[in-house]
Chain A
């Protein structure tokens, strides 16, 4: 039996499965819009309440997870508006890091090689830099990086949930990844 049918029949194990699969993602996604982790947790909780209420009307036109994520985004945006959170505009140009290039636009020196991801994540400074960089990203960039790179969603899923064109999503992802790369380079400098 499909998960959605089990949920509609009040199957608690099915709900637990759904919750365990998506709750952390909802909190991370909400963080793109609200000011801190505890508010994001509240948004995720509100999202579950809304999901439970709306289950009978879920028509299956989108995947369950994208439907849930869209509810979370709407709730997070409403909450951010209520809290008066100010975030940078998404069309803001990325830091072009001019000092890496010479006058004609060639690299002054070859970028350093980073360690492998597992080794990088053992470095507290790296984890702090990632968190801080994510915090500073404009909301759509952060939502896209969160869903594509942290949660492993496909480009199509992200475009659906954020109602973005493929090209717009790609540009914002490129910028977000660029900022995170720069944040890691700033921490690792020449010693990685």
Chain B
């Protein structure tokens, strides 16, 4: 029997992997987008688990919205990515260093 806490632990681990991936990753920008997706997937797992175990539909509706927003976000992310490639000729993170922060 899979309990609620199993889902929560899984989603916490996935969320941390996504978050850590963004900060550790030094190679390329596509990996960043994948890490963002991972974080959102973890949140979705959370919502669905809660929604299922509480018998409340609002969480599942929320997931639909998150999925839609995530799709739009990736579209914009890839759009920016192509602009980076066009301007710098590379999608490595190392090229994004002209601003100091």
Partners in one complex: no
Using a CB–CB cutoff of 8 Å, the interface residues on chain B facing chain A are none
Using a CB–CB cutoff of 8 Å, the interface residues on chain A facing chain B are none
